Amino acid sequence: MAPLLFRGLPNSCWKLKTTLERSGKEGMPFKDYYRRISVMKPEIETFTGSQWLIPQYHEIEELLNKGDSFSLALTSGPRPAYEYMAYLRHHGFSSPLLDWTRSPYVAAYFAFSKPTLAGSVSIYVLFEGSFKLRSSEKPNIYRYGPHIKTHRRHYLQQSEYTTCLVHDDKNEWRVANHEEASVYFNPDREETWDFTVKKFNIPSSERLKVLRLLDEYNLNAFSLFQTEEALLDTIAVRELELREESL
């Protein structure tokens, strides 16, 4: 049984959307996204000194035209350009990867880390059951494993990623919404892939109580990001919020 995955959001009205969807690119063909990240790779490698070995665009095009082969590659590997795409996601580039954590405590931190006007925050839980035959005509969630070489935050935050894609009637693989895929969960049907999503709403008034408890276990901005900005963020929360409440 694969571990549960968790995702914390600071507003319970927000949906499960990737940064690519939030940028207005919902339904974007996967091949178009891959072509764009392939074209910009030399520039990124020049300035970072890092290198990624990824399939050529024409190889991905050929794989996409073999629908079952592409689905199998996403399910059991090798997942095309996974390390490179995870790196881009961690540095803010719009991505079809949705980031999760294996820790409910990390998810709670991201849900409560900043003050919010929303009445409640939410924590999503992704459950994966046993493998069954997928239906390529409907949106499917693909889970990518944790063991890759990428940004150190990936390990600090116990990250994993999923993507949701649909193979449409024009033989095109497109980015789809995770919540659209989750409605197809049906344990009584043979073709079901057992992914389902649960959502838990928590009053935002619990924020300081949660942050104090997490900080006692050294789970804060600095432990999760390990930058100077994160250190100051952690100190500010301790001195201006948590300490003030305890006076």
Q: What is the pTM of this model?
A: 0.88
189 in a domain, yes or no?
yes
Mean pLDDT of 174-202: 71
**Residue type at 16 in one-letter notation:** L
Mean pLDDT of 222-234: 97
87 in a domain, yes or no?
yes
Number of domains in the chain: 1
pLDDT given for residue 134 in this prediction: 53
pLDDT given for residue 243 in this prediction: 85
pLDDT digits (tens, 9 = 90+) for 43-79: 999 999 999 999 999 999 999 888 678 888 888 878 9
pLDDT given for residue 133 in this prediction: 47
13 in a domain, yes or no?
yes
177 in a domain, yes or no?
yes
Cβ-count burial 109-146 (b if 16+ within 10 Å, e if not): bbbbbeebebebbbbbbbbbeeeeebebeebbbbbbee
Least confident of 27-31, 196-200, 205-209: 196-200
pLDDT digits (tens, 9 = 90+) for 119-132: 999 999 998 765 44
172 in a domain, yes or no?
yes
d(C-alpha 121, C-alpha 33), whole Å:
31
pLDDT given for residue 246 in this prediction: 46
pLDDT digits (tens, 9 = 90+) for 127-163: 876 544 455 578 889 999 899 988 899 999 999 999 9
Q: Which domain holds residue 68?
A: 5-102+127-199
pLDDT given for residue 73 in this prediction: 87
* 207-216 helix and 104-112 helix, angle to the nearest 10 degrees: 130
Confidence category of residue 191, pLDDT binned at 50, 70, 90: very low
pLDDT given for residue 188 in this prediction: 52
Mean pLDDT of 191-218: 88
pLDDT given for residue 190 in this prediction: 47
44 in a domain, yes or no?
yes
d(C-alpha 105, C-alpha 217), whole Å:
10
- Please answer whether residues 177 and 21 qualify as being in contact, where contact means their C-beta atoms are separated by less than 8 angstroms: yes
d(C-alpha 78, C-alpha 242), whole Å:
46
Least confident of 10-19, 135-144, 206-215: 135-144
Least confident of 46-60, 189-203, 204-218: 189-203
- Whose CA is closest to 162, among 217, 224, 96, 215? 96
Confidence category of residue 216, pLDDT binned at 50, 70, 90: very high
pLDDT digits (tens, 9 = 90+) for 70-116: 888 888 878 999 999 999 998 999 999 999 999 999 999 999 999 99
pLDDT given for residue 194 in this prediction: 54
113 in a domain, yes or no?
no
163 in a domain, yes or no?
yes
